[in-house]
Amino acid sequence: MRVGVVDLGTNSTRLLVAEVDGGNVEELERREEITRLGEGVDQRRKLLPLPIARVRNVLADYRRELERQGAERVLAIGTSAVRDAENGEAFLGEVEWSYGFTTRLLTGEEEAALTCKGVANGRPLDNGTLVLDIGGGSTELITAARCVSLDIGSVRLTERFLPSDPPAARELGACAAAVQKTLPALEPRKAIGVAGTITTLAALELGGYNPELVHGHRLTRSGVVAQLKRLVSLPLAYRRHLAGLEPERAPVIVAGAVIVEEVLRRYGLDELEVSERDLLHGAALEAAELPEPEEGDAPPGAYACC
């Protein structure tokens, strides 16, 4: 079955079109746009009009791509920013009305479970593996025994602790301390990292983004420290031009790198394995279980761009 997944994330809006067959997810098309839906949510607890407009314009393009690809089911998922915002559920209702997607607001635990499901698709995960998923608003830590969702994402920490350009040493220290304070007691033997912060750090180390090289790359703690030192030495205008760093991710990559470093330090891990399979792939399996849409299900105004 051909399915589509739209991830309405805090920092980015992502699309996956995939064939799902017998529990296997074969990726056909993947896109990402930095839309910063969660801009200001940590302080105001509300999705703001400009970020919503950015997301809706991207969704219009994604809707056309889904139609072109012949997706039979489409699931749009809301994560940290949407669940933290007072108008988050209303926003999902507007998405469903305007674009004809089935929408689902994930709890932190559901997000963690779907991420683990996506990472494990096509490979076994042993009991000693920690899956680390760093988003814009939250970070998920997943092991065989626990799924923990923490309110320490790259956007949230940037807005709280890193106002200077480039960040000052005292700001970085406050950011690192906030991460350390929230990390639970776990005893992993190894780690797999997913999502934009981690794939970007791998791309920076590799000198450019190539998904085939990024997937499976071993990102060492010393490598993360080196990239973090490089990033904080540059003002934002210069960070935007680094090979492997998407310009619109540059404002929040420092906070994301701090989270990676502190997680590896806290659990005594020398490295993590980078994976391109993540929440999108787990959600694709959920999309395949959706009921078949009936003729005329698309509501009036469907597929509008604004």
CATH number of this structure's domain 122-276 = 3.30.420.150
Q: How confident is the model at residue 305 (pLDDT cuts 50, 70, 90)?
A: very low
Q: How confident is the model at residue 284 (pLDDT cuts 50, 70, 90)?
A: very high
Q: What is the overall mean pLDDT for the chain?
A: 91
Asked whether this chain's domains 2-108+281-287 and 122-276 adopt the same fold, the reply is yes
Q: Residue 203 above 70 pLDDT?
A: yes
Q: Cβ neighbours of residue 141 under 8 Å, at least 6 residues apart?
A: 112, 130, 131, 132, 147, 148, 150, 183, 184, 186, 263
What fold is seen in the domain 2-108+281-287?
A: Nucleotidyltransferase; domain 5 (3.30.420)
- Give the chain's length: 306
Q: Cβ neighbours of residue 222 under 8 Å, at least 6 residues apart?
A: none
Please choose, from the candidates 105, 96, 75, the residue with its C-alpha nearest in 3D space to the C-alpha of residue 303: 96
Q: Where are the domains of the chain?
A: 2-108+281-287, 122-276
Identify any residues that bridge with 30 across adjacent strands, giving them in sequence order: 16
d(CA 294, CA 291): 9
pTM metric for this prediction: 0.85
Q: Cβ neighbours of residue 158 under 8 Å, at least 6 residues apart?
A: 251, 252, 254, 255
Assigned token pair, 303: 């597929």
Please choose, from the candidates 86, 74, 136, the residue with its C-alpha nearest in 3D space to the C-alpha of residue 111: 136
